[in-house]
Amino acid sequence: MKLTSIQFLVVGVFVLMLPFCTTAQEEVLSKSEAIALTLENNYNIAVAGNTVEIAENNADLLNSNYLPSIFGLAGANYSVQDQQTDRDDGQSFELNDARSESYNASLNLEYTLFDGLGRLYNYKSLKENYNLSKLEARETIENTVLQLFSVYYEVARLTENVEILEQTLEISRNRVKRAGYQFDYGQNTKLEVLNAEVDVTNDSINLMNTRQLLQNTKRDLNVVLARNLQAGFAVDTNVTFIPKIQLESYIDLAQENNVRILQSESAITLSEYDIQSSKARFLPTVGLSGSYGWNESISPASAFFGGSTRQTTGWQGGLSLRWNLFDGGTSITQFKNAKIAKDNQELLKQQIELEVERDIANALGNYENLVDVFEIQEQNVITNKNNFERSKERFNLGQITSIEFRQAQINLINAQTNKNLAKYEAKFAELQLLQQIGQLLNIEF
């Protein structure tokens, strides 16, 4: 679309003002600050933390069945009856509206002395479930940190691209001025001026679109940080890579630190406890009970006795044993199934170990390849800068056309933006590798 001179001026003024509206006095959000905000505010991490807290509560002694049960009982009964008694001597005794009352209250204690070690392994299971929930929370945190840096580095890439496009637009504006002067002095045609104005328009639109995309991506980052979407900030565009020798030392310990492998080991431990709990069903249960109670009963008169009131108070204790010699085969079935479940968990661990080994190899290969691409792109930028500077000199001397100069400018833009893309892709690939080897949360950003 061809713009008029007024439209061209409006676009140029708007693009010139836009940097002051969007980036002025924005504080830099460092990587460490971004992680701190994410850990503090992110909703997924908060839910994972609450899940861990629930598992910790479940693993407490209060939920272990090791403590006795103490409870109180109280009751009252009241009845009104008409009674008739025929005695052996032929006499009859009648009593109408005979009232009977009874009251009781007691404090009771029940305690399981031995249940075949079932509660021991149930308690251990609760402890292991707590450990598993912490591993699951760690996995959630790792995934969220990766999500954070995926967006953070995209903001950084777009920030650098905006700077590149601003420089490009400035060069194109100078070219318009030069073409206008040359036309005024009859050194070129109006076509050169129009071509320069078209290039400024295209550069302005590219800059506007990139700035808008940058603002959208900043809002995406604020969502991850769980804070005000309109919060303004800049990001740190510096990137450093972990030394190769340090990465190799991390890879050697990957099997010990990978969260998926640790989760599979925890699942095997839980299966072992399930087997032991199933065995406990074959052993007897010994229980202890005791109470201190008060009872009172009021009885009406009868054919042989007058009315009476009776009260009792005192202690009572007992010991019980229950042994299910045969429960229809349920215990045997559960025991067999528990053993099969453990075998399945061991098979799953072997599969996970193989998958993790593959994922580490793929992540390492991707990382090394992207680092090489980044280094090539760095050299490519140097080459294109030299080419652009030479083209600029020749263009100023009139030795090349504006089309050739524009092509050199476009080549430099592409080289610079490709370098930015390669830099952040390589860094993100490094973070993915660190997650696979279990070190993502152990490094300083």
Q: How confident is the model at residue 91 (pLDDT cuts 50, 70, 90)?
A: low
Residues 6+ apart with CB under 8 A from 368: none
Cβ burial of 328 (10 Å; 0-12, 13-18, 19+) is: exposed
Q: How confident is the model at residue 302 (pLDDT cuts 50, 70, 90)?
A: low
Chain mean pLDDT for the chain: 90
Q: 297 or 337: which carries more pLDDT confidence?
A: 337
Q: How confident is the model at residue 178 (pLDDT cuts 50, 70, 90)?
A: confident
User: Looking at the predicted structure, is the pLDDT value of residue 100 above 80?
Assistant: yes
pLDDT digits (tens, 9 = 90+) for 113-129: 999 999 999 999 999 99
- Which pLDDT value is given to residue 90? 63
- Which pLDDT value is given to residue 337? 97
- Which pLDDT value is given to residue 45? 96
User: Looking at the predicted structure, is the pLDDT value of residue 22 above 50?
Assistant: no
Contact 253, 437 (CB under 8 A): yes
**What is the C-alpha separation between 269 and 275, in angstroms, rounded?**
10
**What is the C-alpha separation between 17 and 26, in angstroms, rounded?**
16
- Which pLDDT value is given to residue 307? 60
Residues 6+ apart with CB under 8 A from 411: 384, 387, 388
Paired tokens of 415: 């080289």
Residue 381 host element (H or E): helix 330-396
Residues 6+ apart with CB under 8 A from 96: 82, 83
User: Looking at the predicted structure, is the pLDDT value of residue 224 above 60?
Assistant: yes
pLDDT digits (tens, 9 = 90+) for 58-78: 999 999 999 999 999 999 998
Contact 199, 175 (CB under 8 A): yes
Write the DSSP string, 71-124.
Answer: EEEEEEEEEEEEEEEE-TTS-EEEEEEEEEEEEEEEEEEEEEEESTTHHHHHHH
Residues 6+ apart with CB under 8 A from 75: 102, 103, 104, 105
**What is the C-alpha separation between 293 and 311, in angstroms, rounded?**
11
Paired tokens of 48: 């994972």
pLDDT digits (tens, 9 = 90+) for 247-272: 999 999 998 999 999 999 999 999 99
Contact 271, 63 (CB under 8 A): no
pLDDT digits (tens, 9 = 90+) for 45-55: 999 999 999 99
Which runs of consecutive H residues, i.e. helices, occur in 241-329?
A: 244-252, 254-257, 259-280
Cβ burial of 386 (10 Å; 0-12, 13-18, 19+) is: exposed
The torsion of the CA quartet 240, 145, 232, 427, rounded to 10 degrees, works out to 20
Partners of residue 92 on adjacent β-strands: 86
pLDDT digits (tens, 9 = 90+) for 313-364: 999 999 999 999 998 999 999 999 999 999 999 999 999 999 999 999 999 9
pTM: 0.85
pLDDT digits (tens, 9 = 90+) for 355-407: 999 999 999 999 999 999 999 999 999 999 999 999 999 988 889 888 999 99
Q: How confident is the model at residue 2 (pLDDT cuts 50, 70, 90)?
A: very low
User: Looking at the predicted structure, is the pLDDT value of residue 88 above 80?
Assistant: no
User: Looking at the predicted structure, is the pLDDT value of residue 15 above 50?
Assistant: no
User: What integer is the mean pLDDT of 294-303?
Assistant: 75
